[in-house]
């Protein structure tokens, strides 16, 4: 296996002299953090009030802009001007327009938030958060910041990664690399471990809005991600809603106001956090204007409310293990504030058969791992520090004749990766083609997600199947896709890099994976049927062209038999029986072999007409 070259091209790693300053940034949906590794210790950088987390919230007023805690103050009074969870919309396309009442479309068709300061895209919002983290780092550290590693969810696709990179560049941050969040956590925990023998690691990441599970192999300082999975519609916010719904039911409030629900969610979050260390909790509800001054909740009741949610994460863990082809792991790492819950930790221990590692702050561990890798990437790498190999979450391929998908890069392939495959033309005289790039696990184009289309022209006019077109897929270390097509005879070339306009959210990726398992048998049957039809249609088209050109080589009864057999194949092509179609195609193909031989003889005779024997280059040996 080829290892990833982790230094920037053209940079020489130096182990002497002053250390270069690099940052690890966890750009989170709910909170964001920035960390720095000084060579001995990782420091999660705090603000002037001693707070490490920066709420991922931005307020855009008519006369002022605020980020973080200052922006949260406006969430109740000016919700339309207060943007939260913008990360969810990064890389989203206009076709994936959110039902958020404060989200609109710009004149260019991009998603944006309508605020008093004008339209603000998710990239701009994320850039404001990253700018605040950069300013915090510049205030806390002495020296020039060389760059940063920014973490992204394991399920972020090409467009979402591109949008993250754009946000960082807009914030004036040089992106050293985009790193999967579970992989960053593994770095924070695994770099100091004894890795002489190969070991398997599970990273269980239960954040505020999503759940991710990754299975990694570590050996001799190398992390290789074997499989990723999760549930993009599950996180700590769902636990808060479970408590809120329980309290609303207890209070008999079937139609609470927006302020009541939002305030209850805040109280629910505090109760959840308290129940991680206490058996019961009581919170004041006087400001809610309800017929109750206090709300109560026990840990036992809370665990009953969220038992089904925890079970969903465990099912995703089992799927990830199966995808990785392993039955067990050697270690388990916990990431995300929701993993502080005793019930979550017990469930994870039971699922994997071992106690999880939780010595590092689960809210900070991702930023800490990113800081470690950032330090390596700017040339401060010391002996024994880890290299990383990530994987792509969904297969990449292109459309072939008949509306089928030919997978070029399989799901869970290690990145960076390059794969090439040769294709040809489907029709005589074809001088161009459209390359349709797709992502997904299904067999038919309509069941996969379209990434891009581009044209290749300049193909020499030849008979169908004679052209040689090499299509190459390249996925870099950030998960960014580039596709190129080259016609081998002329060197004609065309390529495309997937742009952020083709975004895909985590829910859709998860659903695509589920559908690939659910419809596997149906998809394979459909593929076999389509391939059989394509083969039959190609034979009919070839015979029709041959008979139009050389019909005189057939006797009358032969012509009649051919026409009869061709009609029979034409009729069976509309059926849904691939076996019958193949049998009829093979029968007609065998029947046409003599006709093909006669045509070949005629072609040779035409080629030799008027040519002297003495001019032929004959091997005399």
Q: What is the 3-state secondary structure (H, E, C) of 442-487?
A: CCEHHHCEEEEEEEEECCCCCCCCCCCEEEEEEECCCCCEEEEEEE
d(CA 313, CA 346): 13
Q: DSSP assignment, residue 84?
A: E
Helices 122-140 & 158-170, crossing angle to 10 degrees? Answer: 50
Query: What percentage of the chain exceeds 70 in pLDDT?
Result: 81
Beta strands per DSSP E along 108-157 = 111-115, 118-120, 145-152
Q: Which residues pair with 276 in a beta bridge?
A: none
CB 90 within 8 A of CB 113: no
pLDDT level of residue 15 (50, 70, 90 thresholds): very low
CB 547 within 8 A of CB 561: no
Above 60 in pLDDT, residue 216?
Answer: yes
The predicted structure's pLDDT at residue 596: 79
Look at residue 561 and tell me if it is in a domain.
yes
Within 13 Å and on the Cβ side, how many CA atoms surround 464? 12
CB 240 within 8 A of CB 271: no
User: Is residue 87 annotated as part of the catalytic site, yes or no?
Assistant: yes
The predicted structure's pLDDT at residue 608: 65
Above 70 in pLDDT, residue 191?
Answer: no
d(CA 248, CA 252): 6
Reduce the DSSP state of residue 10 to 3 states and report it.
coil
**Angle (CA) 524 233 24, round 5°:** 105
User: What is the DSSP secondary-structure string of 187-234?
Assistant: HHHHTTS--SS-EEEEEEEE-SS-EEEEEEEEETTEEEEEEEEEETT-
Residue with tokens 């044209």: 455
User: Is residue 205 annotated as part of the catalytic site, yes or no?
Assistant: yes
Kindly name the residue from 157, 205, 323, 487 that is annotated as catalytic: 205
d(CA 228, CA 210): 13
Over residues 234-277, the pLDDT tens digits come to 888 899 999 999 998 888 888 787 777 878 888 898 999 999 99
The predicted structure's pLDDT at residue 364: 95
The predicted structure's pLDDT at residue 16: 43
Q: Residue 546: name the closest of 503, 496, 588 by CA.
A: 588
Reduce the DSSP state of residue 261 to 3 states and report it.
helix
Domain boundary among 271, 305, 339: 305
pLDDT level of residue 614 (50, 70, 90 thresholds): low
User: Domain with 564 in it: what CATH number?
Assistant: 1.20.1270.10
Among 59-63, 302-306, 346-350, 419-423, which is the least confidently predicted range? Answer: 419-423
Look at residue 210 and tell me if it is in a domain.
no
Question: Do 446 and 502 reside in the same domain of the chain?
Answer: yes
User: Domain with 498 in it: what CATH number?
Assistant: 2.60.34.10
Question: Do 583 and 559 reside in the same domain of the chain?
Answer: yes
Peptide bond before 478: cis, by omega within 30 degrees of 0? no
pLDDT level of residue 343 (50, 70, 90 thresholds): very high
Q: DSSP assignment, residue 80?
A: G
pLDDT level of residue 284 (50, 70, 90 thresholds): confident
Question: Do 404 and 298 reside in the same domain of the chain?
Answer: no
Over residues 404-441, the pLDDT tens digits come to 888 888 876 767 788 888 888 777 788 888 888 888 88
pLDDT level of residue 501 (50, 70, 90 thresholds): very low
H or E element in which residue 322 lies: helix 299-324
**Tokens (6 digits) for 102:** 């404060």
Average pLDDT over residues 506-513: 52
Residues whose CB falls within 8 Å of the CB of residue 298, separated by 6 or more in sequence, listed in order = 275, 279, 280, 281
**Tokens (6 digits) for 150:** 């920014």
Within 13 Å and on the Cβ side, how many CA atoms surround 29? 22
Look at residue 601 and tell me if it is in a domain.
yes
User: Domain with 276 in it: what CATH number?
Assistant: 3.90.640.10
Residue with tokens 């869970």: 412
Look at residue 277 and tell me if it is in a domain.
yes
Kindly name the residue from 26, 231, 390, 399 that is annotated as catalytic: 26
Kindly name the residue from 157, 181, 447, 523 that is annotated as catalytic: 181
Residues whose CB falls within 8 Å of the CB of residue 185, separated by 6 or more in sequence, listed in order = 203, 205, 333, 335, 365, 366, 369
Look at residue 391 and tell me if it is in a domain.
no
Residue 448 burial (C-beta neighbours within 10 Å; 0-12, 13-18, 19+): buried
Among 43-52, 130-139, 148-157, which is the least confidently predicted range? Answer: 148-157
d(CA 34, CA 25): 5
Above 80 in pLDDT, residue 123?
Answer: yes
Query: For residues 430 and 298, which has the higher predicted lDDT (pLDDT)?
Result: 298
Question: Do 488 and 547 reside in the same domain of the chain?
Answer: no
**Tokens (6 digits) for 94:** 């206009």
Q: Which residues pair with 387 in a beta bridge?
A: 222
The predicted structure's pLDDT at residue 280: 94
Dihedral over Cα of 475, 481, 485, 486: its sign: negative
Greatest mean pLDDT among 4-18, 199-213, 580-594, 598-612: 199-213
pLDDT level of residue 117 (50, 70, 90 thresholds): very high
The predicted structure's pLDDT at residue 12: 36
Query: For residues 607 and 25, which has the higher predicted lDDT (pLDDT)?
Result: 25
Question: Do 465 and 567 reside in the same domain of the chain?
Answer: no
pLDDT level of residue 71 (50, 70, 90 thresholds): very high
Above 90 in pLDDT, residue 285?
Answer: no
Q: How many CB atoms lie within 10 A of CB 315?
A: 12
Question: Do 506 and 532 reside in the same domain of the chain?
Answer: no
pLDDT level of residue 8 (50, 70, 90 thresholds): very low
Over residues 349-401, the pLDDT tens digits come to 999 999 998 889 999 999 999 999 898 888 776 655 555 556 677 788 888 87
Domain boundary among 475, 510, 545: 510
Question: Do 504 and 537 reside in the same domain of the chain?
Answer: no
The predicted structure's pLDDT at residue 314: 96
Question: Do 401 and 497 reside in the same domain of the chain?
Answer: yes
Question: Do 506 and 407 reside in the same domain of the chain?
Answer: yes
End-to-end C-alpha distance for the chain, whole angstroms? 48
Average pLDDT over residues 127-154: 93
Question: Do 446 and 496 reside in the same domain of the chain?
Answer: yes
CB 106 within 8 A of CB 112: yes
Residues whose CB falls within 8 Å of the CB of residue 201, separated by 6 or more in sequence, listed in order = 186, 190, 215, 216, 217, 218, 329, 330, 331, 332, 333
Among 66-80, 358-372, 553-567, which is the least confidently predicted range? Answer: 553-567
Q: Residue 212: name the closest of 306, 317, 303 by CA.
A: 317
Q: Residue 83: name the closest of 101, 96, 95 by CA.
A: 101
Query: For residues 291 and 4, which has the higher predicted lDDT (pLDDT)?
Result: 291
Look at residue 502 and tell me if it is in a domain.
yes
Domain boundary among 510, 534, 559: 510
Average pLDDT over residues 141-163: 86
List the domain range (segments joined by +) for residue 427.
396-510
pTM score, two decimals? 0.60
Residue 518 burial (C-beta neighbours within 10 Å; 0-12, 13-18, 19+): exposed
Average pLDDT over residues 144-152: 93
Above 60 in pLDDT, residue 318?
Answer: yes
358 φ, ψ to 5°? -150, 35
Question: Do 403 and 495 reside in the same domain of the chain?
Answer: yes
User: Is residue 619 annotated as part of the catalytic site, yes or no?
Assistant: no
Among 57-66, 173-182, 243-252, 433-442, which is the least confidently predicted range? Answer: 433-442
Look at residue 579 and tell me if it is in a domain.
yes
Query: For residues 38 and 543, which has the higher predicted lDDT (pLDDT)?
Result: 38
Within 13 Å and on the Cβ side, how many CA atoms surround 12? 3
What is the total count of domains within the chain?
A: 3
Residues whose CB falls within 8 Å of the CB of residue 5, separated by 6 or more in sequence, listed in order = none
Look at residue 434 and tell me if it is in a domain.
yes
Question: Do 448 and 542 reside in the same domain of the chain?
Answer: no
Dihedral over Cα of 225, 231, 232, 235: its sign: negative
User: Is residue 181 annotated as part of the catalytic site, yes or no?
Assistant: yes
CB 373 within 8 A of CB 179: yes
């Amino acid at each position: 296996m080829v290892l990833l070259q982790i230094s920037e091209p053209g940079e020489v790693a130096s182990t002497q002299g002053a250390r270069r300053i690099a940052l690890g940034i966890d750009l989170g949906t709910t909170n964001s953090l920035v960390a720095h590794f000084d060579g001995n210790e990782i420091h999660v950088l705090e603000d002037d009030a001693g707070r490490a987390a920066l709420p991922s919230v931005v307020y855009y007023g008519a006369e002022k802009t605020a980020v973080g805690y200052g922006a949260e103050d406006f969430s109740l009074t000016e919700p339309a001007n207060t943007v939260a969870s913008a990360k969810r919309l990064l890389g989203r396309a206009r076709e994936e327009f959110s039902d958020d009442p404060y989200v609109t479309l710009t004149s260019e068709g991009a998603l944006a938030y309508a605020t008093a300061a004008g339209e603000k895209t998710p990239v701009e919002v994320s850039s404001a958060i990253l700018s605040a983290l950069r300013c915090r780092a510049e205030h806390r550290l002495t020296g020039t910041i060389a760059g940063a590693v920014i973490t992204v969810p394991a399920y972020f696709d090409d467009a979402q990664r591109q949008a993250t990179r754009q946000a960082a560049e807009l914030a004036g941050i040089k992106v050293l690399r985009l790193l999967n969040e579970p992989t960053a956590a593994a770095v924070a925990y695994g770099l100091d471990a004894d890795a002489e023998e190969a070991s398997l690691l599970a990273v269980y990441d239960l954040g505020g809005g999503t759940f991710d599970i990754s299975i990694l192999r570590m050996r001799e300082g190398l992390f290789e991600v074997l499989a990723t999975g999760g549930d993009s519609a599950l996180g700590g916010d769902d636990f808060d809603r479970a408590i809120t719904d329980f309290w609303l039911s207890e209070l008999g409030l079937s139609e609470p106001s927006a302020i009541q629900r939002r305030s209850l969610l805040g109280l629910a979050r505090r109760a959840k956090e308290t129940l991680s260390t206490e058996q019961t909790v009581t919170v004041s509800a006087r400001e809610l204007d309800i017929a109750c001054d206090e709300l109560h909740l026990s840990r036992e009741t809370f665990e009953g409310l969220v038992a089904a949610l925890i079970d969903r994460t465990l099912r995703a863990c089992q799927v990830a293990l199966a995808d990785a082809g392993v039955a067990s792991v050697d270690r388990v790492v916990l990431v995300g504030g929701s993993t502080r819950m005793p019930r979550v930790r017990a469930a994870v221990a039971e699922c994997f058969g071992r106690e999880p590692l939780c010595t590092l702050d689960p809210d900070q561990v991702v930023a800490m791992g990113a800081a470690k890798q950032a330090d390596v990437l700017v040339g401060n790498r010391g002996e024994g520090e880890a290299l990383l190999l990530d994987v792509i979450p969904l297969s990449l391929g292109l459309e072939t004749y008949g509306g089928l998908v030919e997978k070029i890069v399989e799901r869970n392939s290690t990145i960076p990766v390059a794969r090439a495959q040769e294709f040809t033309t489907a029709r005589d005289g074809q001088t161009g083609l459209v390359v349709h790039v797709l992502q997904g696990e299904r067999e038919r184009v309509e069941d996969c997600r379209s990434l891009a289309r581009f044209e290749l022209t300049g193909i020499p006019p030849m008979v169908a199947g004679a052209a040689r077109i090499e299509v190459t897929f390249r996925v870099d270390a950030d998960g960014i896709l580039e596709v190129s097509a080259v016609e081998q005879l002329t060197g004609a070339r065309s390529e495309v890099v997937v742009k952020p306009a083709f975004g895909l959210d985590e829910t859709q990726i998860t659903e695509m994976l589920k559908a690939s398992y659910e419809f596997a048998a149906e998809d394979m049957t459909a593929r076999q049927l389509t391939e059989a039809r394509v083969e039959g249609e190609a034979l009919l088209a070839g015979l029709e062209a041959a008979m139009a050109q050389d019909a005189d080589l057939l006797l009358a009864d032969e012509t009649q038999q051919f026409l009869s057999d061709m009609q029979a194949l034409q009729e069976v092509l509309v059926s849904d029986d691939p076996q019958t179609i193949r049998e009829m195609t093979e029968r007609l193909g065998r029947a046409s072999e003599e006709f093909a031989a006669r045509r070949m003889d005629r072609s040779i005779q035409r080629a030799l007409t008027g040519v002297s024997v003495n001019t032929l280059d004959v091997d005399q040996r």
